[in-house]
Amino acid sequence: MVQVLQEALNHIGYSFEINSSFDETTTWAVTDLQLQHEMQATGVYNEQTKSLLEELLAAGESIKPGAGLPRETEASTTNDGVNILFNPYDQLALVNKQHALPADYVPEDLVVPDILFPFNEDLPKKKMRKVAAVALEKLFQSADEAGLKLYAQSGYRSYDTQVMLFNSYAEKNGEEAANLFSAHPGESEHQSGLTMDVTSSDVDFMLTEDFGETDEGKWLVEHAAEYGFIIRYPKGKEDITEYQYEPWHLRYVGTKAAKAIMSEEITLEEYLESD
């Protein structure tokens, strides 16, 4: 299927090697195509993208590669030497201490999911990218049907907000300690719009390791992947993620990746390395 996709993309104007691998270049081309046609840009070859591609092929139309998402010829880095992602829209984008989002990246499809929050204020942190928000609504509904009450505490966070937050933690705890539980600006998954921190009344709506011992926390380990989410920073993987255990931190990656990651008890880093 990937070979057919790559051949089709080349027919409408792209030009890259046919290798039957849904690699970085193929993901970029799909994202670029989605952005050019004002579709939800995830880099995922879904039914909507397939239909668009079929229409373009049938009409004999071509596009200008990179008009939606310019293809960087050289890797960009932050002042600290961290690689800057050229495709921040990618649903599987790896955001960590080695891979940062562009400082000016703000997802265009941020929405507020229809779920419970432990506060009433209309704050940016209520938002997520639409694809993740829809999935989170379904996850919360299933938890509710199981007799559990999840609450969303913190989703999207801008680059500038992360600057203030990290500086505050570093001033209070020292930069070395802050690095264990807070991300440098650009290196936070919250900026991607694909993450939501969740909690429950059993831990007074706090973000604490104790959440992992609650019924809600245990339920998430068993069922989050069914809705495309993973526990991004699992216990025992601190040497890989470089962050402390965070049972509250959900990251949307889609059901295929989520089921593999959670069933194999690995991290997003390990999944992408083996892909």
pLDDT in tens, 101-112: 999 999 999 999
Count Cβ neighbours within 10 Å for each residue of 13-29 and write b for 16 or more, e otherwise: bbeeeeeeebeebbbbb
CA distance 124 to 58: 42
Q: Does residue 180 register a pLDDT over 80?
A: no
Q: Does residue 200 register a pLDDT over 80?
A: yes
Whether 99 is in a domain gets the answer yes
Does 139 or 82 have the greater pLDDT score?
139
Indicate the burial class of 147 (C-beta count within 10 angstroms; 0-12, 13-18, 19 or more): exposed
Does 269 or 180 have the greater pLDDT score?
269
Please tell me whether residues 229 and 267 are part of one structural domain.
yes
For position 154, what pLDDT does the model report? 97
Whether 193 is in a domain gets the answer yes
Q: Percentage of the chain surpassing pLDDT 70? A: 99
Q: Which residue segment(s) compose the domain that 217 sits in?
A: 82-274
CA distance 217 to 198: 9
Whether 75 is in a domain gets the answer no
pLDDT in tens, 240-269: 999 999 999 999 999 999 999 999 999 999
Please tell me whether residues 204 and 128 are part of one structural domain.
yes
Amino acid identity, position 29:
A
Please tell me whether residues 137 and 222 are part of one structural domain.
yes
Q: How many CB atoms are closer than 10 A to CB 237?
A: 18
Q: What is the CATH number of the domain that holds 117?
A: 3.30.1380.10
Tell me, letter by letter, the H, E, C secondary structure of 145-191.
HCCCCCEEEECCCCHHHHHHHHHHHHHHHCHHHHHHHCCCCCCCHHH
Q: How many CB atoms are closer than 10 A to CB 197?
A: 18
For position 73, what pLDDT does the model report? 65
**pLDDT class for 166, splitting at 50, 70, 90?**
confident
CA distance 201 to 211: 10
Please tell me whether residues 220 and 164 are part of one structural domain.
yes
For position 256, what pLDDT does the model report? 96
Please tell me whether residues 127 and 47 are part of one structural domain.
no
Please tell me whether residues 259 and 146 are part of one structural domain.
yes
Please tell me whether residues 26 and 90 are part of one structural domain.
no
Count Cβ neighbours within 10 Å for each residue of 100-129 and write b for 16 or more, e otherwise: bbeeebebebbbbbebebeeeeeeebbbbb
Q: Which of 110-119, 164-173, 197-206 is least confident?
A: 164-173
Q: Percentage of the chain surpassing pLDDT 90? A: 86
Residue 231, beta-bridge partner list: 250
- Domain count for the chain, please give it: 2
Q: What is the CATH number of the domain that holds 52?
A: 1.10.101
pLDDT in tens, 32-58: 999 999 999 999 999 999 999 999 999
